[in-house]
Structure 1
Amino acid sequence: MLTRYLQLVLAGAMSQIRLEKWKIFDSLDDQVKRSIHLAIVLKQRNDLMDSWKYSALYVTEDDEVFGMGENLNNGCFGTGDKVPHPEPKRIDVLCGKNIKGLEHSKEPSIYAIYAISSIGSVFAWGENSQGQLGLGTRKNTLIPTKITKTLVGKKVVQVACGTNHTLALTSDGQVFAFGSNYYGQLGLSNNIDKSIPAKVDGSLAGRFVIAIACQRNASLALLDSGEVFAWGWNKNNILALKVPNNDNQNIPLDVLRLEREMFSKIVCGLYHTLALSTDKKVYAWGNNSNGQIGDGTKNRVTIPTIISSAIGGVKDIAALSCASAALTETNEIYIWGFHGDQDILSPTINYLFTTLDEVFAPDICRPLRPKEDLSLSINMNDSQNMWLEHGFDDKETADFVFVVEGKKIHVHKIILILRCAFFKIMFLGDWKEKHLSEQTIEVYSFDAFYAFMKYFYFSELDVQPEKVLEVFCMAHYYQMNELQMKCERLITTIVTVENAAEIYEKAHELSAKSLEDFVFSFCLKNMAAVVESDNFKTLRDGVRRDFLQRAAEQGE
Structure 2
Amino acid sequence: MEDEPPPQGVSAKALEATLLSALKMLDVGKWPIFSLCSPEEIKLIRQACVFGSAGNEVLYATENDEVFVLGMNCSGCLGTGDMQSTIEPRRLDSLCGKKIACLSYGSGPHVVLATEEGEVYTWGHNAYSQLGNGTTNHGFIPCQVSTNLVNKKVIEVACGSHHSMVLTSDGEVYTWGYNNSGQVGSGSTANQPIPRRVTGCLQNKIVVNIACGQMCSMAVVENGEVYVWGYNGNGQLGLGSSGNQPTPCRIAALQGIRVQRVACGYAHTLVLTDEGQIYAWGANSYGQLGTGNKSNQSYPTTVIVDKDRVVEIAACHSAHTSAAKTQSGQVYMWGQCRGQSVTFPHLTHFACTDDVFACFATPAVMWRLLSVEPDDHLTVAQSLKKEFDNPETADLKFLVDGKYIHVHKVLLKIRCEHFRSVLNNDDEIIEMSEFSYPVYRAFLEYLYTDNIRLPPEDAIGLLDLATLYRENRLKKLCQQTIKQGICEENAIALLSAAVKYEAQDLEEFCFRFCINHLTVVTQTQGFADMDHDLLKNFISKASRVGAFRN
Q: TM-score, normalised by structure 2?
A: 0.65
- 1:361: which partner in 2? 358
Does the aligned pair in 1 maintain the 2:272–2:278 contact within 8 Å?
yes
Note if 1:74 corresponds to 2:75. yes
- 1:315: which partner in 2? 311
Counterpart CA distance in 2 for 1:477 and 1:264 is 19
Q: 1:455/1:277 Cα in 2 relative to 1: closer, same or farther (>3 Å)?
A: farther
Counterpart CA distance in 2 for 1:153 and 1:176 is 14
Q: 1:292/1:456 Cα in 2 relative to 1: closer, same or farther (>3 Å)?
A: farther
Q: 1:113/1:444 Cα in 2 relative to 1: closer, same or farther (>3 Å)?
A: same
Partner amino acid, structure 1, of 2:104:
E
- 1:348: which partner in 2? 346
Q: Percent identity?
A: 35
Task: Map Cα deviations across residues 139-162 of structure 1 (whole Å, 9 max, x no partner).
Answer: 111011100111111111111111
Task: Map Cα deviations across residues 90-115 of structure 1 (whole Å, 9 max, x no partner).
Answer: 1111112222222111x2xx111122
- 1:29: which partner in 2? 38
Q: 1:171/1:273 Cα in 2 relative to 1: closer, same or farther (>3 Å)?
A: same
Counterpart CA distance in 1 for 2:140 and 2:176 is 19
- 2:133: which partner in 1? 135
Counterpart CA distance in 1 for 2:453 and 2:326 is 27
Which stretch shows the higher mean deviation, 214-223 or 259-268?
Answer: 259-268
Note if 1:279 corresponds to 2:275. yes
Note if 1:264 corresponds to 2:273. no
The 3-state SS of whatever aligns with 1:150 is coil
Counterpart CA distance in 1 for 2:447 and 2:244 is 44
Residues 440-455 of structure 1: pairs in structure 2 closer than 5 A: 448=439, 455=446
Task: Map Cα deviations across residues 230-275 of structure 1 (whole Å, 9 max, x no partner).
Answer: 000112643112xx55322111001134452111111000111111
Q: CA deviation at 1:451?
A: 5.2
Partner amino acid, structure 2, of 1:337:
G
The 3-state SS of whatever aligns with 1:151 is coil
Give the counterpart of 1:17 among 26, 49, 61: 26
Does the aligned pair in 1 maintain the 2:460–2:478 contact within 8 Å?
no
Note if 1:64 corresponds to 2:61. no
The 3-state SS of whatever aligns with 1:235 is coil
Note if 1:152 corresponds to 2:123. no
Q: 1:384/1:188 Cα in 2 relative to 1: closer, same or farther (>3 Å)?
A: farther
Counterpart CA distance in 1 for 2:448 and 2:103 is 29
Partner amino acid, structure 2, of 1:304:
P
- 1:332: which partner in 2? 330
Counterpart CA distance in 1 for 2:447 and 2:268 is 34
Q: 1:482/1:64 Cα in 2 relative to 1: closer, same or farther (>3 Å)?
A: farther
Give the unaligned 5+ runs of structure 1. 1-12, 45-51, 373-380, 387-402, 408-442, 485-505, 511-556
Task: Map Cα deviations across residues 438-471 of structure 1 (whole Å, 9 max, x no partner).
Answer: xxxxx989x95895598499344599xxx99944
Task: Map Cα deviations across residues 347-370 of structure 1 (whole Å, 9 max, x no partner).
Answer: 11112x221111011622423423
Counterpart CA distance in 2 for 1:316 and 1:188 is 31
Does the aligned pair in 1 maintain the 2:75–2:109 contact within 8 Å?
no
The 3-state SS of whatever aligns with 1:305 is strand
Q: CA deviation at 1:296?
A: 0.7
The 3-state SS of whatever aligns with 1:267 is strand
Task: Map Cα deviations across residues 427-446 of structure 1 (whole Å, 9 max, x no partner).
Answer: xxxxxxxxxxxxxxxx989x
Q: CA deviation at 1:206?
A: 1.2
Q: CA deviation at 1:20?
A: 1.0
- 1:190: which partner in 2? 188
Does the aligned pair in 1 maintain the 2:109–2:124 contact within 8 Å?
yes
Counterpart CA distance in 1 for 2:296 and 2:442 is 48
Note if 1:116 corresponds to 2:110. no
- 1:93: which partner in 2? 94
Does the aligned pair in 1 maintain the 2:49–2:366 contact within 8 Å?
no
Partner amino acid, structure 1, of 2:33:
I
Q: CA deviation at 1:31?
A: 3.5
Counterpart CA distance in 2 for 1:454 and 1:228 is 37
The 3-state SS of whatever aligns with 1:317 is strand
Does the aligned pair in 1 maintain the 2:268–2:288 contact within 8 Å?
yes
Counterpart CA distance in 1 for 2:272 and 2:299 is 15
Task: Map Cα deviations across residues 33-59 of structure 1 (whole Å, 9 max, x no partner).
Answer: 222121111334xxxxxxx57121111
Partner amino acid, structure 2, of 1:22:
W
Task: Map Cα deviations across residues 58-96 of structure 1 (whole Å, 9 max, x no partner).
Answer: 11121111111222x132211112212211111111112
Q: CA deviation at 1:133?
A: 0.4
Counterpart CA distance in 2 for 1:280 and 1:139 is 44
Counterpart CA distance in 1 for 2:104 and 2:96 is 17
Give the unaligned 5+ runs of structure 2. 1-21, 384-416, 422-433, 466-474, 495-550
Q: 1:453/1:151 Cα in 2 relative to 1: closer, same or farther (>3 Å)?
A: farther
Counterpart CA distance in 2 for 1:385 and 1:230 is 42
Counterpart CA distance in 2 for 1:93 and 1:198 is 26
Partner amino acid, structure 1, of 2:42:
K
Q: 1:211/1:383 Cα in 2 relative to 1: closer, same or farther (>3 Å)?
A: farther
The 3-state SS of whatever aligns with 1:178 is strand
- 1:458: which partner in 2? 449
Partner amino acid, structure 2, of 1:100:
A
Counterpart CA distance in 2 for 1:309 and 1:444 is 37
Counterpart CA distance in 2 for 1:275 and 1:456 is 34
Q: 1:253/1:468 Cα in 2 relative to 1: closer, same or farther (>3 Å)?
A: closer
Task: Map Cα deviations across residues 478-528 of structure 1 (whole Å, 9 max, x no partner).
Answer: 4628998xxxxxxxxxxxxxxxxxxxxx9xx99xxxxxxxxxxxxxxxxxx
- 1:492: which partner in 2? none
Partner amino acid, structure 1, of 2:169:
S
Does the aligned pair in 2 maintain the 1:53–1:70 contact within 8 Å?
no
Partner amino acid, structure 1, of 2:114:
I
The 3-state SS of whatever aligns with 2:201 is helix
Note if 1:40 corresponds to 2:41. no
Does the aligned pair in 2 maintain the 1:187–1:231 contact within 8 Å?
yes
Counterpart CA distance in 2 for 1:283 and 1:185 is 22
Note if 1:163 corresponds to 2:158. no
Does the aligned pair in 1 maintain the 2:75–2:138 contact within 8 Å?
no
Counterpart CA distance in 2 for 1:165 and 1:371 is 28
Residues 366-385 of structure 1: pairs in structure 2 closer than 5 A: 366-370=367-371
Counterpart CA distance in 2 for 1:133 and 1:185 is 15
Does the aligned pair in 1 maintain the 2:165–2:176 contact within 8 Å?
yes
